[in-house]
Structures are given as structure tokens and as C-alpha cells.
Structure 1
Amino acid sequence: MTQRRVSLDDLGAWLIKGNAERVDLTARFRRDPQVTSWCVRPGYRARLMGPGQPVVFWASGSRGGCPYGVWGVGRVTAAPVVDADGGWSVPLDLTVLDEPDRVPRRRLRADPRLTGLEVLRQPQAANPSYLTVAQFAALHDHLPTT
């Protein structure tokens, strides 16, 4: 299956993933819920990322571990940067939600407006993934109001 080309015309938000099986994300975000940077794969999607664009944090892992799904929402603060080892990361202003406010995968799968999310269709795809404008609007119905 080939990945759909992302267009800025229909970009609702970027989606970055962290694997809760590889890193103890629960403990990390309990200590500090702020995310200021996250790794992304070099490519055309990363080159499209820019300041002010919305970003969603998705925690993944096994179904037996912590509940995974949308754990946070924020904004890209600058274009991705290349570190000394050649890896790319994107600067962010993102806050991980308190545990009761996180949106579990099962709830997103139950919403017909969100069943086509790339992260559900291709969970192993590299960062960044994305949500369309319509999908990001539908996600807002599941997020806490502020």
C-alpha cells in the first residue's frame, strides 16, 4: 500500500508517534508533560512542516500495555532541524493531556469520521503522519474543552 501524498491544502494536523513499549512514556510525561521536540523521518512530509501547524501526539504500543491513542495536541514551532548524527527532529510546543483526557484508539475507531486515519491504517509508518482538515475537526469532538 502506498502512502497518500500530503497536501498543505488538506492538512489538518501532523501526527507524531511515540512507542510506549520502547520508552516508558507514562513515566516520562508524568514527570514533564511538555514536548519541545520529536524525531521525524527525513522526506517531503518533514520538509512541509512549519511554524504554527497543529500537531497531535499518538502513543502506540501493545494492546496489553497502556491504552494508546491521542495523548496530546500542540503546535510545530519551527521547521525540522538536523542534529549532529544526521537525524531530524521537529521543534514543538505540545502538552500531553492528563490520563483521563487522552483519547483511546478504540474511541477513535468507533467514530466513522476517523476510521480512515493514516495511523490506524498504517500504524508502522514513520513520523510524521497526518490528519486531514475534516479528521482534525472530528478529533476535536473527543478532546477536552479548554
Structure 2
Amino acid sequence: MTDQTVGLVSAASLGAWLLKANPTIYPIAEWIQDRPDEPVTSWSVQRNYRSAMMEAGQPVYLWISGDGRDIEPGVWGYGVVTGPCEVGTADSRWLDRDAASGAGYYAMTEINFLASPVSRSALNSDPRFADLEVLKVPAGSNPSFLTIDQARALRELAQAADRGTCPRCRNGEILHVVFGMLPPGSLDGEPPWVTEGGCVIMGLPTNRHCPACGLDWLATSGGRPQARTLHELRTLLGCDSTAGLEDLLWDHCDVDVHVEDVPDDHDEVGALSLRIGTRGVTLEFPFSVTEFIVTVDELLAEVLDDWDEELRG
């Protein structure tokens, strides 16, 4: 990118891009609820000088607007631009078909959702964002942008929002652990709760540690805990036994529930068998707690539909 000024944004002053999502036009709240670990790999933008400046490696945030009824407005994702914008077509999830028909140009990204958002109210109360474009001109250009100073400040807030909490004791002072042979200075600039874990992982891979209760676990890029065994799933849901997990699901579903390990071809546990009433599914490890709960609700909905059909028949 050449160091030239174009309109309000220049290569020298650009800190990060900010892509805007309107939950009344696209069901972004459902995406975060149902598929929190699925990154945003493209997003509709206006075809203008700004989108022409987007290049691989540039930082990018996802902003969600709205009145707060469906989802809290603010910054919900962070990632990078993966390449120049491309011509494309809207997918079938769009809620506003007129808006979908006009969406023909897309930013290429790899954006992961944060464990919790940096809220619009928090940004409004922070003097470092007094001139943030998306706050001053909410209906302005998409993509919007942040200056270098604004991007540095938002990165700090996003890191704190993405720290997460312990799934067992709910402690918020957890550590993010990075394993491997890290070159000197690899963690420079990271917050103090990001720490080296050594060259070798003993046992199952982990990347989170709670100093309060001693729990180690694996989390996705959005900070959501993942289960790699039935034992870990029970631990993350606060159950001491498989029977306790089944009781917990019974209270949620009010139908018979059965869970058990499924060995793979090498006689090792590779999946979980889950049955709700007469419906069942096999989930391959690892999966997030959110994925598990969503699957439970989907199976329960199928069971209820079966009952309705039986009554109508």
C-alpha cells in the first residue's frame, strides 16, 4: 500500500478497519449464539476508495449496531483482512432481501468473535474514542475505520473482553497459556495474563489455566471452553458423574437422556453419543459447551415435533 492520503483515511493514519453489522438486516445475533466458533470470512461492504484500500494482514473489527434488544451493540469480533475485496452474492440468511440484493462486494476476512463484547456504552464513556467515526456517524461508510491510537486502545479493551472466566469457579483472573518453542520476545506487547507454558504439553493440550481452582482447559479463539472427553464435558458443566450430567439434561429437557463415550477405530474415545428421547446424534471431540447445548436443544425440538405429529395423526 502506498503512503498516500485518500479522503479521510490514509495508509499512514489507518489503525484498523471496522466492519458494521445491522442485526435487523443480517441475523448476526443468531450466528454468535449458534455458531460462536465459526469465523467471519467475508462481509458486505460498499465499493469505494476505502474498500479498495483493504489488504491482507490489516487488522479488522466487527461492529454490531442496533437498539440492544437482540444483542448488545458494540465490538464483537477481531481479526485480520485476508485479501482484497471480491465481488460476491448474498447468502440465504439475510433478513432484508432488498439489502441482500444490493450486497455485491465483500471484504475477505478472518474474524473471530470475542468471549464478550466491547460495548458501545463503554466506548462512549472512554475519552480515547471521542472522535471514533462509528460513534459520531453511525450511518456512515462501511467499512468504517480507526486511527492508530484508537486501534491501539481498542485492542487493549478487546484483549480484556476476550480474557474469559473459569468455567468451573467463574474466576475472571485466568491465564492464557502459550506452549511451544517461542522465539525471544514472542509475547512482547501481550497483556500480563498471557504466559509461556513451556515447550512440551504433558497430556491433553490446554491453553487456559485458573490459578484459583487449578483447572486447565482448552478454549477456542473466542475464549469458549472446549471438551475433549466426556470427563471434561462433565467438569465444564459442573457434574461429578455421567449420571449427574444426564440428570442435568433431564431437568432441561424433561425427557429421557443418555450420554456415553464412543470409541474410534483404535479403541480410543473419539466421540460422544447423545440421545434425547427417541432422537440421537454422535458428536466428535473436541466441541465447545455452546455446541453441545445447541445440539441438545435441536434434538429436543425434533422430539417435540415428533410428538406433535403423533398427536395430529
Question: Is TM more than 0.5 here?
Answer: yes
1:81 counterpart (70, 86, 90): 86
SS of residue paired to 2:30: helix
Q: Does 1:115 align with 2:120?
A: no
Among 40, 46, 55, the residue aligned to 1:41: 46
Larger radius of gyration: 2
With a CA cutoff of 8 Å and minimum separation of 6, indicate the structure with the bigger relative contact order: 1
Distance 2:68 2:88 in 1: 33
**For 1:116, what is the secondary structure of its paired residue?**
coil
4+ aligned runs moved over 4 Å, structure 1: none
User: In structure 1, what is the Cα distance between the partners aligned to 2:121 and 2:133?
Assistant: 15
Q: Is the 8 A contact 2:32 2:113 kept in 1?
A: yes
2:32 equivalent among 13, 29, 34: 29
Choose from 104, 110, 116 the match for 2:119: 104
Deviation at 1:65, TM superposition (A): 4.2
Question: How far apart in 2 are the matches of 1:57 and 1:9?
Answer: 22
Q: Which amino acid aligns with 1:122?
A: V
Give the % identical residues. 38
Query: When the two structures are superposed, what TM-score results if normalisation uses the length of structure 2?
Result: 0.43
Hey, what's the Cα distance between the residues in 1 that align with 2:9 and 2:85?
A: 17
Question: Root-mean-square deviation (CA), in Å?
Answer: 1.8
Does residue 1:130 correspond to 2:145, yes or no?
yes
Q: Quick one: distance in 1 between partners of 2:107 and 2:153?
A: 25
Q: For 1:76 and 1:141, how far apart are their aligned partners in 2?
A: 19
Contact 2:29 2:70 in 1 (8 A): no
State the 1:24 CA deviation: 2.6
Structure 1: which 5+ runs fail to align? Answer: none
Aligned residues: 141
Displacement after TM superposition at 1:71 (Å): 0.4
- TM-score by length of structure 1 reads 0.89
The corresponding residue for 2:109 is 92
- The equivalent position to 1:56 in structure 2, one of 47, 61, 67, is 61
In structure 2, the partner of 1:18 is 21
